[in-house]
Amino acid sequence: MKVTEHLAAAKGKTLISIEVLPPQKGKTIDDLLKVIEPLMEFKPPFIDVTYHREEIIYKKRADGLIEEIPLRKRPGTVGICAAIKGRFNVDTVPHLVCGGFTPEETEDALFTLYYLGINNLLLLQGDSDKNPKTAVKTNAHKYASDLVAQVAEMNKGKFLHEETENEMKTNFCIGVAAYPEKHFEAPNLNTDLKWLKHKIDAGADYIVTQMFFDNKKYFDFVEKCKAAGINIPIIPGIKPIAQKKQLYSLPKIFHIDIPETLADVVEKCKDDKEVKRAGIEWAIQQSKELKAAGVPCLHYYTMSRSEATIEIAKAVF
């Protein structure tokens, strides 16, 4: 089923979904499946699997020169989606990014997903490549809206370099990301909403938000979306704080605010064990308030660890 079909079938009941990371290169999938297994108690109708673009490593060659090698440290998103789907009989949502792929390579990946029976996607611009030698492919998509438009065309049977519509049409449900506190590249929230609306107009079916710790920012964002003519489901993303250093790393990496009340509690914790407890309690209260407000789904960023999400889900669902 499509994500939007799961949301519609819930008839106003708040669902739960989770997001996991592919194992690092050289690790097996077994540990990831063990993380997911206890979370199946809460019947998530779909599970997201992230995609990580290549990083550059430097190796010394036999001739003494340094060679730059693009390397994906967490490969296998498509295969992992297929394995999770087969193991747990649950729909999976692979993430696809613009960076590092031509439209032709993207089309090939989409056909693979279609043949596997995976019909949900989360389409992202993805992290930028800071290496000028590999950053730009001649005709690579630059923005997520371009990626959305390509998938929407495939859903109509329009494939690259073919002049007529094909009998076969894909049937992808298209998700996109949004930022209640605005994308860090946007000069202001209204400009960011304009670009979000552009993704919706290109063919997106639902939205998943960046993590946030202040529910008011999510509620205000939803109202602003409605005012901008954005009327598709907006799924809030939740991540509990687990370490004191995250008070500073999360705002730096994800460009989000930590509420003063939460920051004060975390600062007073004597160790990360206490921080983890405080983070879980905050996420539980966040989740209960969002659920009471009738959000369509609560999406938990697990970082491929299950303990905190299990405790939160037991308290909320």
The CATH number that applies at residue 79 is 3.20.20.220
Scan for tokens 């920051």, then name that residue.
263
Give domain status of residue 269, yes or no.
no
Number of domains in the chain: 1
- Check residue 127 and give its pLDDT: 67
Contact residues for 134 (Cβ-Cβ < 8 A; gap 6+): 54, 56, 68, 70, 100
pLDDT at 54 over 80: no
Say whether 48 sits in a helix, a strand or coil: strand
Segment 235-241 shows an average pLDDT of: 98
In this structure, is residue 41 part of a structural domain? yes
pLDDT for the residue 83? 96
Instruction: Give the type of residue at 60.
Output: K
Q: Of 262, 260, 268, which is closest to residue 283 (Cα–Cα)?
A: 262
How many angstroms separate the first and last alpha carbons of the chain? 22
Q: Looking at the domain assignment, is residue 37 inside a domain?
A: yes
**What's the pLDDT band for 148 if we cut at 50, 70, 90?**
very high
**Other beta carbons within 10 Å of 317:** 16
Q: Looking at this protein, which amino acid is placed at residue 134?
A: T
- Dihedrals phi, psi of 251, to nearest 5 degrees: -60, -35
- SS3 category, 210: strand
The residue ranking higher by pLDDT, 88 or 130, is: 88
Is 183 a member of any domain?
Answer: yes
Tell me what pLDDT residue 179 has: 97
Question: Would the pLDDT of 165 be above 90?
Answer: no
Which residue in 175, 278, 286, 295 sits closest to 238, CA to CA? 286
Res 71: pLDDT: 62
Residues 6 or more apart from 306 whose CB is under 8 A from it?
Answer: 35, 36, 38, 39
User: Residue 57 has what pLDDT?
Assistant: 61
User: Is 88 strand, coil or helix?
Assistant: helix
Predicted local confidence at residue 209, as pLDDT: 98
Active site residues: 19
Q: Quick one: pLDDT at residue 129? A: 56
In-domain check, residue 38 = yes
Domain assignment present for residue 224? The answer is yes
**Residue 278: inside a domain:** no
How far are the Cα atoms of 48, 66, 175 from residue 209, in angstroms, in the given order?
13, 41, 10
In a domain, 258, yes or no: no
Domain span at residue 112 reads 3-240+286-316
93 within 8 A of 124, measured Cβ to Cβ: no
Report pTM: 0.92
Percent of the chain with pLDDT strictly greater than 70: 91
Average pLDDT, integer, range 65-75 = 70
pLDDT category at 144 given cuts 50, 70, 90 is: very high
Q: Would the CA dihedral through 290, 295, 296, 301 be positive or negative?
A: negative
Residue 270, classified by CB atoms within 10 Å of its CB into exposed (0-12), middle (13-18) or buried (19+), is exposed
Q: In the chain, which residue ranges form alpha helices assigned H by DSSP? A: 3-9, 30-39, 77-88, 103-115, 144-155, 189-202, 215-227, 246-254, 260-268, 272-292, 307-316
